Amino acid sequence: MQNHNLVVVRWSDIIQFADWTPSSDKATDCPEFVTVGFLMSEDSTEDTVKLATTLDTSGVGTGVVSFPVGVIKEIVTVGHSQDKGSTRRRKRK
């Protein structure tokens, strides 16, 4: 199985107002968001960072989210796909 870092990405999105209110009357702070996923690529030659929301049993990522590097505020590694971690099982009724 391929090993991928489990990361938290803090990023900022654009904001747009489509009405006739003057810009001086609008809050202009761009909203910030947090996304969690498996880091698939973070290459200095690429202009995007790709996260997968799901890994199959061989480590292939699916549900890919691509972020332009310019919107990323921070990337924090919180684990790895091969970490054992704790397992919690639910009993079926």
Q: Answer with the residue of higher pLDDT: 69 or 91.
A: 69
| Domain enclosing residue 75, as ranges | 5-17+28-80
pLDDT at position 8: 96
Residue 22: inside a domain: no
**CA separation for the pair 53, 86 (Å, rounded):** 19
Q: Is the pLDDT of residue 87 over 90?
A: no
Q: 51, exposed or middle or buried, with CB in 10 Å at 0-12, 13-18, 19+?
A: buried
Whether 85 is covered by a domain: the verdict is: no
pLDDT in tens, 35-84: 999 999 877 677 999 999 999 988 899 999 999 999 999 999 999 877 66
Is 9 within the bounds of a domain?
yes
Number of domains in the chain: 1
Q: Is 40 a member of any domain?
A: yes
Looking at the domain assignment, is residue 62 inside a domain? yes
